[in-house]
Structure 1
Amino acid sequence: MNGIMKNPEIVPDKISNPINHKVIVGILGIGLGIFILLNLVSDDDVGILAFILSITFAGIVAVFSFVVSKQNEIGILAKSYFFLGLGFTSYVIAEVLYYSFELIFQIEPYPSIADIFFFALYPFVLGHLLLNIKYFSSGYTKLQKILIPGIPIIALAVYVLMSYGIADAELNFDFYYGLIFVAGAATTLTFTILGAQIFKEGVWGTVWLLLVFGLMISTSGDIWYYHLEIFGHYYDAHPVTVIWFIANSIIIYALYKHVKSI
């Protein structure tokens, strides 16, 4: 067993439950099908369809996260997956609030209380990642110490430069509001990258790497979304919507492999 493990009895020495690449191809195929469907339905229906798919995928992630947490029972792993479950539960609540304001009550959903729950996803996912990184890693390399502040700084710099690229740009509420979310998403993205570097050599190998890869895709999609919002280019049938669905599907598959392997 790896010497950096603190509680070796909690986690198996190896996972003998390999990734089925046909499932990954199937996930990509489903993503393509959803993208086509979103662009075929009417403008009146696409928002409802995107909402249903969003809460379905995120809800399944939350359920599987809580199952993995329960299977670990105690310790850091139980806490880390509980955090992950809370993060995606928060996201589901945010989506329900957002679309309720927009579709049912016909009021502007941004900004609103839904944003609190959207943002809560980041600290919960960060908690999940940091607990696992602490559990399986003895420390950060010099390169990783550079990446931790470097990636968020670059993401924020791009956001600011793109904002100033808009005609008659001004530092208004929307600018600073978006800046907070970009910072949260970029920081989370940084630790998914670090997690991928650490977990690829860990005892759970490719299964854990798959989970982190899904989180990485999701947070990358978030950053893309916030930059799209600068120019008002986001819409429900945009490719980034499907990116989120694909990311959550990958996370679901990784969590399923975790459940089968414990």
Structure 2
Amino acid sequence: MANLQTKTNELLVFALCAIFLAMMVSNYFGQQAAGLTYNVLNMSITGPLVLFSIIQILRNKYYSQLGKAWICFSSFATLWFVAEVIWLVDELVYHVKPWPSEADYFWFAGYPMYFMFSMYYLKPFKALISKRVIFLASVTTITVAVFSISVSELQNIDFSEPEAIIGLAYPIADAATLFPITVSLNLFLRGQVNFLWMLLMIGMLCFVVSDLGFLIFTLDDSYYSGHPIDTIYLWAYTFLLFGSYNQLLVFKKRNSKNRFDMQESLR
């Protein structure tokens, strides 16, 4: 198991480096090349992510803890995949500005699904989560939300514009996901869970960072599809993909009693 984890970690590092290199090289050749590279890589990652999440549903009984968790995660992954497809079609087929667009409805709909998944993910560790950790997670969530609003106010944005409202809504929605992420990081730093277990949380943490960057670059009109900040978006999906793959390796057999804390070498 340890050898498998090492190989998975090595493959993850390779994937992250390859994505970074591809994005930097494509940006060197211009915005059009960067946009095309980003969209191709995006579909190459999000497609398998949806597939892995669906396999998890089929592998686990729907009424079990794992089954319910993966229904939520699969819903989240599918909604965001649809959003990415809409973005791609708008940009590469219709050649229109893909933001804001109908894709935003699917992205926003995915947040509650991910949050519910994270609750199922953390539920087996309930006894290890203290009130102090809950307080810290709450403060982190509120702080990031306030910071996002402050950044927008410093830019003197016009909140009568739908684009501005949507741009601000993403960091605020991301801030809500920081609650389970902060709790998970606490478990990881205390040695209660391993790095591969954390990937499904680290992925969303990357979205928090990239959405904040997207907001900043959009407000000063310097963002374009394939912008270097999009590298973090691709990393986020990559972390989620490898996290899902790791769970497939851990729970190879269907068992309604499987729990997220019942893993060999979890610590």
| TM bracket, shorter-chain basis | 0.7 to 0.9
Matches within 5 A, 1:1-262: 17-20=4-7, 21-74=9-62, 75-138=64-127, 140-166=129-155, 169-173=157-161, 174-198=163-187, 205-262=194-251
Give the TM-score of the pair, scaled to structure 1. 0.81
Distance 1:57 1:201, change over 3 A: same
Is the 2:134–2:183 contact (alpha carbons within 8 Å) kept by the matching residues of 1?
no
Is the 2:19–2:231 contact (alpha carbons within 8 Å) kept by the matching residues of 1?
yes
Once residues 148 and 200 of structure 1 are traced to their aligned partners in structure 2, the CA distance between those partners, rounded to angstroms, is 14
Once residues 52 and 255 of structure 1 are traced to their aligned partners in structure 2, the CA distance between those partners, rounded to angstroms, is 21
Structure 2, gaps ≥5 residues long: 252-267
Aligned residues: CA RMSD: 2.7
Q: Could you tell me how far 1:207 is from its partner in structure 2?
A: 2.6
- Which deviations, in whole Å up to 9, do the C-alpha atoms of 1:165-222 show, x marking residues without a partner? 22x5433233332232211111113312212333677986433123322332233222
Once residues 36 and 242 of structure 2 are traced to their aligned partners in structure 1, the CA distance between those partners, rounded to angstroms, is 25
Once residues 137 and 161 of structure 1 are traced to their aligned partners in structure 2, the CA distance between those partners, rounded to angstroms, is 34
Structure 1, gaps ≥5 residues long: 1-13
Q: For residue 239 of structure 1, give the secondary structure of its aligned residue in structure 2.
A: coil
Distance 1:218 1:161, change over 3 A: closer
Give the TM-score of the pair, scaled to structure 2. 0.80
Is the 2:23–2:38 contact (alpha carbons within 8 Å) kept by the matching residues of 1?
no
Q: Could you tell me how far 1:119 is from its partner in structure 2?
A: 1.5
- Please, which moves more after superposition, 233-242 or 119-128? 233-242
Is the 2:203–2:240 contact (alpha carbons within 8 Å) kept by the matching residues of 1?
yes
Query: How many residues align structurally?
Result: 248
Once residues 153 and 116 of structure 1 are traced to their aligned partners in structure 2, the CA distance between those partners, rounded to angstroms, is 24
Once residues 105 and 156 of structure 1 are traced to their aligned partners in structure 2, the CA distance between those partners, rounded to angstroms, is 34
- What corresponds to 1:7 in structure 2? none
Identity of aligned residues (%): 21
Distance 1:86 1:179, change over 3 A: same
Distance 1:114 1:153, change over 3 A: same
Q: Could you tell me how far 1:93 is from its partner in structure 2?
A: 0.9
Once residues 120 and 188 of structure 2 are traced to their aligned partners in structure 1, the CA distance between those partners, rounded to angstroms, is 12
